[in-house]
């Protein structure tokens, strides 16, 4: 399995699109091997286009949408862990025994450690610990991916995998997708200034953000914006019919969709250290 490999771990179909589609497209274009793990089918998501799905069919429709997105990004492969979408905090869906947030930690970790030991990525990518906007599934996948990053190298972790022939593997870097404080308000203001009737974020939406000083990378990925937009548009149930980004000046679309923000929690960033923009900088292909 030669080369440079990135394993992206997220909770729902479209998590690979809106927040990180640009960086995934960048690494594919650079010749890196990229695999995506998605833990749920997003059954509790909105249906933003009439007739695109029903509540009963939404999960299977989103499975198909995810396949479209994987092809749009030209990812090498993907896996669905088939847990159920837990919904937002306080929803009735939280109580479903199949909900991702109710899955035993050891069960999820075994599956993620297996993914790491099989694919042997040098880099892992997931959400920051607050899950961008507090979604319980986003918080869970951040926690599980961070733990799996540490466990995959431990031969005492899930020894049955070693008996199957899998070997411990030590990923070299973990990155979190983040959004800086003020991003959502600036996003809305730029669209409104361009003539789009876009709602201002409510107080609860402004709570979830990362202080700018904690973000290590602000990446200009506008060169890959068309690929990212194609990926987003695969998620028809999640995109409103009046999706604005084809109708605003390119500079506005680039500000919203062409910029992505990342934290490198592992290895920890030393005081005064500059984090390279390329996740794989200095890593030798194997």
Residues 38-60: tens digit of each pLDDT = 999 999 999 999 999 999 999 99
Least confident of 109-118, 233-242, 258-267: 233-242
* Tens-place pLDDT, residues 196-237: 999 999 887 888 899 999 999 999 999 999 999 999 999 999
Residue 218 tokens read as 């602000």
Residue 74 tokens read as 């030209």
What pLDDT shows up at residue 257?
97
Provide the pLDDT confidence category of residue 1 given band limits of 50, 70 and 90: low
Average pLDDT, the chain: 97
What pLDDT shows up at residue 50?
93
pLDDT over threshold 60, residue 113: yes
Q: Which class is 5-266 in CATH?
A: alpha beta
Give the up-direction half-sphere exposure of residue 205: CA atoms within 13 A in the CB hemisphere.
Answer: 11
Sign of the CA dihedral running 23, 85, 140, 180 = positive
What pLDDT shows up at residue 205?
80
Instruction: Give Cα 145 distance to the centre of its chain.
Output: 11
The answer for residues whose C-beta is within 8 angstroms of residue 132's C-beta and 6 or more apart is 19, 138, 177, 178, 179, 208
pLDDT over threshold 90, residue 67: yes
User: Do the Cβ atoms of 52 and 237 come closer than 8 Å?
Assistant: yes
pTM over 0.75: yes
* Tens-place pLDDT, residues 141-176: 999 999 999 999 999 999 999 999 999 999 999 999
């Amino acid at each position: 399995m030669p080369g440079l490999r990135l394993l992206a771990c997220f909770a729902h179909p479209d998590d690979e699109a809106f927040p990180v589609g640009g960086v995934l497209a960048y690494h594919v274009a650079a010749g890196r091997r990229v695999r995506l793990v998605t833990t749920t089918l997003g059954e509790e998501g909105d249906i933003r286009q009439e007739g695109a799905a029903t509540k009963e069919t939404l999960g299977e429709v989103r499975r198909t949408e995810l396949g479209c997105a994987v092809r749009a990004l030209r990812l090498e492969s993907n896996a669905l862990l088939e847990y159920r979408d837990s919904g937002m905090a306080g929803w009735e869906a939280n109580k479903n025994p199949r909900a991702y947030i109710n899955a035993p930690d050891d069960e999820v970790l075994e599956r993620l450690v297996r993914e790491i030991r099989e694919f042997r990525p040098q880099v892992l990518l997931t959400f920051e610990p607050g899950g961008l906007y507090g979604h319980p599934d986003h918080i869970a996948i951040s926690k599980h991916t961070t733990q799996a990053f540490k466990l995959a190298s431990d031969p005492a972790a899930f020894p049955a995998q070693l008996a199957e022939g899998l070997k411990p593997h030590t990923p070299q870097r973990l990155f979190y997708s983040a959004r800086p404080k003020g991003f959502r308000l600036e996003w809305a203001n730029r669209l409104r200034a361009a003539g789009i009737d876009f709602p201002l974020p409510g107080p609860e939406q402004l709570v979830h953000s990362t202080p700018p000083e904690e973000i290590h990378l602000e990446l200009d990925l506008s060169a890959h914006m068309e690929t990212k937009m194609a990926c987003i548009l695969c998620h028809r149930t999640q995109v409103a019919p009046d999706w604005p980004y084809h109708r605003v000046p390119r500079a506005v679309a680039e500000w919203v969709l062409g910029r992505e923000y990342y934290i490198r929690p592992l290895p920890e960033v030393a005081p005064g250290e500059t984090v390279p923009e390329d996740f794989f900088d200095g890593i030798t292909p194997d």
